[in-house]
Structure 1
Amino acid sequence: MPMIFINYRTGDGEHLATILDRELSHRFGPEVSFRASKSIRPGQQFGPELLHAVRRSSVLLAVIGPGWAAHPGLRREDDWVRREIGEALACGIPVVPVLSGRRTERLNRDDLPESLTQLAENQYLRYDNQNAEADLRQIVAELTALVPDLSAAQQRQYGTDAEPGGVRNQVSGGSEGPVFQGRDFTGDIGGTVIKNSSGPIHAGKGDQHNHHHAPNFSGDGGTYVAGDNHGGVRHRFGGGRRLEDEGR
């Protein structure tokens, strides 16, 4: 099972660490990402668990906030942010800096302790709140290319025919007549269609005669079933839609 270790400093990166953890868990399953405040259980030893998780990781994401390089903790050998990155580098595990916000500059070798100077040479990714969906899409795509086993984790999460951001529909049950299910779509289907009502609705008394036509709709996906149905209807959407701890 591939694992992505999320390295961050409290006060300068925990918000983005949480966003990354949530997105990776959604895409690949909750067991794929490691974030200390989530993954270390009560009663477990903090230090050994961190180092063990780093050593079995496929990649380490180092969340870099605006004040990351200037933090005094980075100059201490017992600093956990520094130790985690150093352990990954020593083990030959890829370390990917993720710059938080558009104003965070890439790392400079002169600002880093000697054991971490390689980090300034590593290609980085960026996350900005104003471009959140596109940046998350790119981060996921780059990680999938870097760690091919993530594709298998994604298939387990969504099914073998699913793609990230895609739509998966399943219909079964005992319905008779049309069945429609969807999200973020536009258009109509044959029959009586009522949209965006904000008050009482009266559809008439007695039989209704409608001129039916072929359904047409567009958007993030939908399910339309006409005729007898003896199973059920399930509709599942994927993730985003656009590309673009104490002591820590």
Structure 2
Amino acid sequence: MTSSTTRPLLPGAGVYALKVSPYLPQAAGPATVTAWTMLMSLSTGQPVALLDASGLTVERTAATTVLAADHLLPPDARTAAVIGYGRIGRAHARYLRHVRPDMTVRVVSRTRPEELDSGIEAVAGIREAVTGADLVMLCTSAADDVVDPRTLAAGTVTTSISTNAPGAREIPPAAVPDLDVYVDARTTLHVATELVQAAATGWDPATVRGDLTGLVAGSTPRPSGKRPVYFRSVGLGIEDAAVAWAAYQYDNETTEGRP
């Protein structure tokens, strides 16, 4: 059995989160993989909540992307493309429509999407989706390039979440030096395949314009407007903790309001 564990701290909320994801090989059939997040009180040391982290991961991933995109996009951005419309892609569209209700979202899916919400439309292919888009959100499980941001207009924001598969990426490493690059955290520079490979061939990671914390705090410079923009996230323990705490608070509020 193997297991990955993170312990991010939320001192303002008075809790820390413990996330455990065991990998349990099975004699017959595929391994069993689960993920659980527990919130623990900093004052009593007692468990506050236990949450299924698989659902939280979907919400955390989409929320992180849209939070960054909202800070990187100009106020008059009108069109977005979501490439890959599975659970995570749908969450991206949902969060974006909540934060930017005036934006139209074009989606590309391998299978025909079910009934689409207002403001979301299915298109035939990637080229049609990204043409003229202000924002391109990559939500695929691809192991190779999906979009080359260099083919998009200056100022267009491309986001990528990729997967945890070895070598997975959604844009070509050769494109990285020609982009205004932002990351969810500086540690992403050592994990994201395309950024690691770009650095190995001469790109200077010090040219990254900022991270998610800086975007939210307003201490990170805005995109230059001269090049396409790229935001890369890999998922952080502190993001899991924040979403778990938000879910716990929401559940408490709705429970208190029930008859």
Which bin holds the TM-score, normalised by the shorter protein? 0.3 to 0.5
* Structure (1 or 2) with the greater strand fraction: 2
Structure with the bigger RCO (C-alpha within 8 Å, sep 6+) is 1
Q: TM-score, normalised by structure 2?
A: 0.32
TM-score (norm 1): 0.33
